[in-house]
């Protein structure tokens, strides 16, 4: 008769995924498109900062530009979470410091 042996279970190690930093770096600031007039709309493939719903500045790339009732809004690709976001023109800026004192409702 064969004897059954009990084997110890070994823990499977999860592969470690390198985390990406969500801080805005100098590379991001260099990519930003600086416009002459702040009222000018961004063009597709331009980079800009925008305010999230939590009033935090994020960095994004403009995918498309739309006009609605004499104001612009953009479909952006967030460069940290890589998700699509729709933002009004008044919540986009060339620099993070332009958001001081501005809050979304």
pLDDT reported for residue 51? 93
DSSP state of 27: H
- Domain positions in the chain: 43-99
Give the residue ranges of DSSP H helices in 1-105. Answer: 26-31
Q: What is the spatial distance between Cα 85 and Cα 49, in angstroms, rounded to a whole number?
A: 12
Domain 43-99 sits in CATH at 2.30.30.30
Read off the pTM: 0.72
SS3 86: strand
pLDDT reported for residue 60? 93
Mean pLDDT in consecutive groups of 10 residues from the start of the chain, 105 residues: 72 74 76 85 92 91 93 92 92 89 84
């Amino acid at each position: 008769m064969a004897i059954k042996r009990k084997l110890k279970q070994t823990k499977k190690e999860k592969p470690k995924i390198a985390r990406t930093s969500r801080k805005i770096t100098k590379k991001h600031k260099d990519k930003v498109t600086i416009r002459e007039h702040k009222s000018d709309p961004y063009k597709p493939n331009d980079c800009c900062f925008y305010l999230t719903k939590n009033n935090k500045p994020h960095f994004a790339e403009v995918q498309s530009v739309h006009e609605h009732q004499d104001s612009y809004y953009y479909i952006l690709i967030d460069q940290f979470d890589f998700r699509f976001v729709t933002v009004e023109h008044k919540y986009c800026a060339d620099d993070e410091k332009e958001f001081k004192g501005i809050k979304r409702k």
